[in-house]
Structures are given as structure tokens and as C-alpha cells.
Amino acid sequence: MEVLNQTIERTTLSNLIYNEDYCRKVLPFIKPTYFEVKEERIIFEEIYSFVDKYKKIPSQISLEIEVEQRKDLTETEHSKIVDIIKTLDSTDVDMDWLLDTTEKFCKDKAIYNAIVDGISIIDGKDKNRTADSIPSILTDALAVSFDNAVGHDYLLDSDSRFEFYHRVEERIPFDLDFFNKITKGGLPTKTLNIALAGTGVGKSLFMCHMAANCLSQGKNVLYITLEMAEERIAERIDANLMNISMEDLHDLPKKMFDDKIAKIMKKTSGTLIVKEYPTASAHSNHFRGLVKELAIKKSFKPDIIFVDYLNICASSRFKGNANVGSYFYIKSVAEELRGLAVECNVPIMSATQTTRGGFTSSDIGLEDTSESFGLPATADFMFALISNEELDELNQIIVKQLKNRYNDPTMNKRFALGIDRAKMKLYDVELKEQDDIVDSGQDEPVFDKTNFGSKMDKFSVIKDFKV
């Protein structure tokens, strides 16, 4: 391994002085600490200094002269460095391979150095940094990658921009018309999507319904629960897919149950995995490990991940008793989940609680997000689920857009969905029932213009809202 590393390091140094295109692309990403041998590290420092000063690559002779002028080297060290410089050659190698190999070399070295730094901090040998800095050190190391893009030329790159406008982006569609309208066809990959609601309104129902729908589409679904047991989540999905109430589900004979499961299996090529973690015990690294384990043990790669729910996730950056505010803690959880979505190339669907004020409100805004306004700042798509006794009688629930990076959030800002709590299902309602809800004024309470809004005027105080 040591010989291999030395070969890579020598190849890197050779191409830094003989391949100008390579030097230009990789020099900003390489650090002196990536070179294990002191003499090679000095050569890199001289190359970097020369390019920085003269804006061109040095020759062998230039390097030898620069090294000769250094006063911090012994005669032996100087001799070793000159010998190494003389071994550097201009052998042609495949450019793509060279860039990939150099990038991997930089990543491996960055991670190794980060681990060494972390151990040093833990052992108290680093007096300038505390253990709190370790997560950011590791995050920076894991983020090492070559970015050779120089930006978008507005005029010259118009063709690529046109293709972008007309590209059909991979999405996970809903089986609910208005959700497809406001998301332009479903949830894109590498996104974090949040449902905001109070206890008992339907956060888990919404996610179970969506998980069932994704499975029916033939998608691979990973459902992570930190609130309910695996069996309870599966029970809700059974009720949804079998179109039977949860009460009747328990009275279903084994033969009939098996027949219904067999029918579901015939209709889908997808797989649904439900994994339970104790409340507040698991974070994104646990979920990442689970994804890798499922890939190895079950050849399972998720198309979408559900996390039920965000507020009771742990953070990989902060301990549960860490001396940080809820803003930073919940924002950290959200950022970690979105990072997981990007890494796994999937949409992540999760949920969050309202504030105490949100429980009694007839309308919900971003200010009603429990514990952290940093959550809406991180999410790509966020919406509120609103219910009350009047809506329950109508078997309806109101959806209000709060943030939408996929479409204009002022279009179809509010709309109604049918809800069957017994069967854990959501469904579209007739358009005529949407007339007074869809696109109602942003600053007006959600029920002011609905058919039942006039009935609500009879009450001076609204006490029975569930949000």
C-alpha cells in the first residue's frame, strides 16, 4: 500500500510539471499534507508557489533552483529532493483515469488526515480545537471532490439551458391530482419534503398512504419509523392496500389475508422495508448504514425514503444533551437528512410538529413550525395539513403550501383532500368542493371562503381545531 501511494504521489508530481491542463484542474484541490514523504511535500509546495507567482508550471530546472535557494533544508534533504525531481517524467497517461485517480487519492488522504486530527483532539493533543469541531472536520473531508466547472455562460450556454427546461426530470408521482399539480408531477430525487401538522391530524397517515402508493407503482420504499412500531406502520399500509378498515383487518381470516397479500405482490415489482428505531436514538448515519446493509443483504436500493418523523430524529453532529439551541439542532437534523437524500439520489419524505400556537390556529404559516425556523429554510417542499371537527364530519383535510421549490407556491396554495382514517387512505375530492378553497387569499384564514366558513362565523371562539 505504501509503495502504491508513493507511485501515485510521484505520478501526481510528474504531471503537475509536465501536464498544464492537469495542473490547472487539480492544483486547487491538493494539499501539502496529502504527501507522506517530507521531500515530496516540499516539491509540491514549490510547484504550488511557482504556479501561484508566475501563473505557469515550473520546469525541472526551475524546481531544482527554487529548492537550492531554500535555507531550511539540510544537505541530505536537498540531495534527496533533487534526486526525486530528476525522476519526474512526462510519460503520457489517460487524462480521465489520471483525474479520477488523483481525486480518489485526495479523498482518501483527506479522510485519513481528518481521522488522525480527530484522535488528536480527543486525546487532548490539539490545544486549539475541541471535540465539537470533529463533525465539521469529517464533513469537510467527505466533501472533497474535483469541481472543474467554471460557471454558466448565459449567452453561449443557451442550448444546454433549453434542454434543461424541456428535460423530463425523474420524479415519484402522487396518486393525488393537486399534489401532482403543485409539484409538477411528483417529488424529484435529492430533495427533502416535509408535512407540518399537529398530533392526530394525519402526518403518519399521509406518509403511510404515500408509501403504499409508491409500492403500488413498483417503487422500492424504505420506511423508517421512530414513533410507532414496525407492525403498526405495516398495519396501516395493509389497511390502505387491502382497502379494508383497520378494525376489520383484525377479524380477517388467515386464508383471506394471504390471498390479499398475494394480489398485492402480483400488482407490484417493488419492495417495502419498514425499520423501527427507538425515539431520538437514530440519525442520518444510522439510516445511511441501513441503506448499505439492505443493499448487501437484500440487494435493495430505495427509490424513496420516509422518516417518521423528523423532530424525533437524533443529530449526528450534536448529542441529545448538547448545549445547542433547538434551532441549530433541528436544522442540523434537516440538513443531514437532505444530505442523505442527495447521497442516495432519492426524495426523502418526513414530517414535523406545529408549535403550541399552531394547535389552536385555523391557519398555519411557517412561523408555526415547531422548535426551528431553520427547518423550512432547508426543506425543498413543505406543506401543512389542517383539520377540525367540521372537516372530520366532511371526511376532508385541508392542505396548505408553505414552501415549494418545484412550482409557484401561490398557485393552488390551498386545496382539500378526502380522508378515510379507518382505511388509512387519502383521495381526491370533486372539483366543485375545491372552488372556495383553491387559491384563496394567502393572508386570509383557510376557512374564510369555504362552504363551511359561514357556519364557523356562529362561533366567537374556535376551540376545537386540530392542526
- What pLDDT score was predicted for residue 327? 67
Indicate whether 440 pLDDT > 60: no
Sequence-ordered list of residues with C-beta below 8 angstroms from that of 408, at least 6 positions apart, any chain: none
Beta bridge partners of 353: 197
pTM above 0.75, yes or no: no
Angle, helices 230-242 vs 254-267, to 10°: value is 80
- What pLDDT score was predicted for residue 183? 93
200: left (phi over 0), alpha (psi -120 to 50) or beta: left
Please compute the mean of the pLDDT values over residues 383-395 and round it to a whole number: 86
Superfamily of domain 2-142: DNAb Helicase; Chain A (1.10.860.10)
Q: What's the grid cell of residue 285? A: 448515519
Sign, Cα dihedral of 335, 337, 342, 346 = negative
Indicate whether 451 pLDDT > 80: no
Query: What does the DSSP assignment read for 417-452?
Result: EEEETTTTEEEEPPGGGTTTTTT--TTS-TTTTSTT
Give 95's pLDDT tier (boundaries 50, 70, 90).
Answer: confident
User: Within 10 Å of residue 436's Cβ, how many Cβ atoms?
Assistant: 17
Nearest CA to 15 out of 89, 101, 81, 97 is that of 89
Q: Cβ(183)–Cβ(405) under 8 Å?
A: no
pLDDT digits 0-9 by tens, 299-322: 999 999 999 878 888 877 766 545
The one-letter amino acid code at 289 reads G
Sign, Cα dihedral of 93, 97, 102, 108 = negative
Indicate whether 103 pLDDT > 80: yes
Q: Which CATH code fits 171-466? A: 3.40.50.300
Q: Decide which of 417 and 356 is more confident.
A: 417
Rounded CA-CA distance 353/283 in Å is 18
Indicate whether 210 pLDDT > 90: yes
Nearest CA to 332 out of 301, 375, 395 is that of 375
Indicate whether 215 pLDDT > 90: yes
Angle, helices 38-54 vs 2-18, to 10°: value is 20
Q: For residues 122-146, b (16+ Cβ closer than 10 Å) or e, as one string? A: eeeeeeeeeeeebbebbeebeebee
Indicate whether 82 pLDDT > 60: yes
Q: Cβ(180)–Cβ(355) under 8 Å?
A: no
Domain residue spans of the chain: 2-142, 171-466
Nearest CA to 135 out of 318, 293, 339 is that of 318
Indicate whether 455 pLDDT > 90: no
Rounded CA-CA distance 176/133 in Å is 45
Please compute the mean of the pLDDT values over residues 195-216 and round it to a whole number: 90
Rounded CA-CA distance 53/449 in Å is 69
DSSP H or E stretch at residue 143? none
What separation in angstroms does the CA of 128 have from each of 16, 109, 124, 131?
33, 22, 10, 10
Q: What is the DSSP letter of 201?
A: T
Q: Cβ(456)–Cβ(349) under 8 Å?
A: no
- What pLDDT score was predicted for residue 307? 94
The residue assigned the cell 420504499 is 221
- Average per-residue pLDDT for the chain: 82
Indicate whether 209 pLDDT > 90: yes
pLDDT digits 0-9 by tens, 133-153: 788 788 778 878 776 666 778
Rounded CA-CA distance 186/205 in Å is 18
Same topology for domains 2-142 and 171-466, yes or no? no
